[in-house]
Amino acid sequence: MDFLDLEKLSELATTYMPQVIGAILTLIIGFWVVARISSALDRIMESRGIDQTVRPFLSSLVSVGLKVMLLLAVAGMFGIETTSFVAIFGALAFAVGMALQGSLGHFASGVLLLTFRPYKVGDLVTIGGGETGEVVGIQIFNTVLKTLDNKRIIVPNGVVTSNVITNISGQGIIGVELTFGIGYNDSIDKAREVILRVGKECEWILDDPAQGVVVGELADSSVNLNTRPFCKSEHYWDTLFYMQEHVKKAFDAEGISIPFPQMDVHLDK
């Protein structure tokens, strides 16, 4: 290697060494800052009560995005034109978005559900335009329900957020809507007494709010009595089935009739 080659190497080292050192320091410090930001974001999401299934995903998404920006910044330090890279990334993102727009919509809805938590695992809900069941999983693209008859229903999150969400058990206690019909010849006061007595005997019904019985409707074939006993959310079905069975038995024992629609047919001879 002659003197001219050494001089060229020295010149190149003098010219590019500060940029190389600056780029290496930028990468080291940048990756450290990205790690701290991702960790801080995860702690913030945990303190806000965001579901643990979405926290790692959001943290990794932010981390990848910041690292891509860091690499573009380092490339710019060497004089590399980054506009073309940004254009390529933009075109790819647009193409992928157009191909997966339905899935991306469900993904965005899943993030909203996991962030704002209109329901959580274990809640009894009616979602997706009428599907009712216990929430057993909130996934990025779908919400999974288990019905009373143990069916598994998978509802796309986009369908959930575009419809009314009814969280039946989300308040901790729930009122069980019940209607009992009695005959027009039966005593309303006696029937009310029987319904309240059965409610007192039910172990799941709460004393506060107190159960009441009112005349809800004077129907064609019956006087309909409405009652709404309150219980803990997890005892909703137990309370519903108990009241329906034991009120019927108590009515039978007390001679209170439960009428049903009838038709009188008259034949002319």
Task: Between 219 and 88, name the one with better pLDDT.
Answer: 219
Q: What band does 188 get if pLDDT is binned at 50, 70 and 90?
A: very high
pLDDT in tens, 193-233: 999 999 999 999 999 899 999 999 998 889 999 999 999 98
pLDDT in tens, 98-138: 544 556 677 777 777 777 778 888 888 888 778 888 888 87
Q: What is the mean pLDDT of residues 10-30?
A: 74
- Global pTM reads 0.54
Domains of the chain by start residue, with CATH: 3-99 (1.10.287.1260), 119-167 (2.30.30.60), 173-254 (3.30.70.100)
SS (H, E, C) the chain: CCHHHHHHHHHHHHHHHHHHHHHHHHHHHHHHHHHHHHHHHHHHHHHCCCCCCCHHHHHHHHHHHHHHHHHHHHHHHCCCCCHHHHHHHHHHHHHHHHHCHHHHHHHHHHHHHHHHCCCCCCCEEEECCCEEEEEEEECCCEEEEECCCCCEEEEEHHHHHCCCCEECCCCCEEECCEEEEECCCCCHHHHHHHHHHHHHHCCCECCCCCCCEEEEEECCCCEEEEECCEEEHHHHHHHHHHHHHHHHHHHHHHCCCCCCCCCCCCCCC
